[in-house]
Homo-oligomer: A and B are copies of this chain.
Amino acid sequence: MQVQDFDVGAEIAALRLGNPAVGAVASFIGCVRDMNEGDSIGLMYLEHYPGMTERELEKIATEAHGRWDIFDTLIIHRVGELRPLDQIVFVAVTSAHRGESFAACEFIMDFLKTKAPFWKREATPQGDRWVDARVSDDAAAARWKQ
């Protein structure tokens, strides 16, 4: 968790860290959109539950390592005030072959969306509102159950 922005190029370079066994890096960036549910968004505020957040992200990464043959995982999530175009979240996974890093990266995002204690409040022309959980996120996370 961090308030400040992140540099995806530098983060990926640090994750690979001169490991010549890495053949694949899958990554994902989530960004603030200027529209949601048909309303224009000016400002967004991201709240989290300090302590539990770190534990949940650690659990999600551990679960990914248990499921796939991957080298390293990185999860960065911003909190506080954000605006359209801002980066919110970054997930990157390294592996020898591409299938594993793709699957693990998408798995981490799906679980982060449904398990990690973050909440978005957005400012719309009709006033502030808390974003509702998406049913599609639950469905995305449910696919990973054996």
A residues adjacent to B (C-beta < 8 A): 7-10, 12, 16, 18, 20-35, 84-85, 96-99, 101-102, 105-106, 109, 136, 140
Contact = CB atoms under 8 A, between A and B. Distances in A.
A20 B33 contact: yes
Given A28-B26, A28-B102, A98-B28, A21 B7 contact: no
Nearest to A87: B25
The A interface, classified by DSSP as helix, strand, loop or mixed, is: mixed
29 contacts: A7-B9, A8-B8, A8-B9, A8-B12, A9-B9, A9-B10, A9-B12, A12-B29, A16-B31, A18-B85, A20-B33, A21-B34, A22-B31, A23-B32, A24-B31, A25-B28, A25-B31, A27-B27, A27-B29, A28-B98, A28-B102, A30-B98, A33-B96, A97-B136, A98-B109, A99-B136, A102-B102, A102-B106, A102-B109
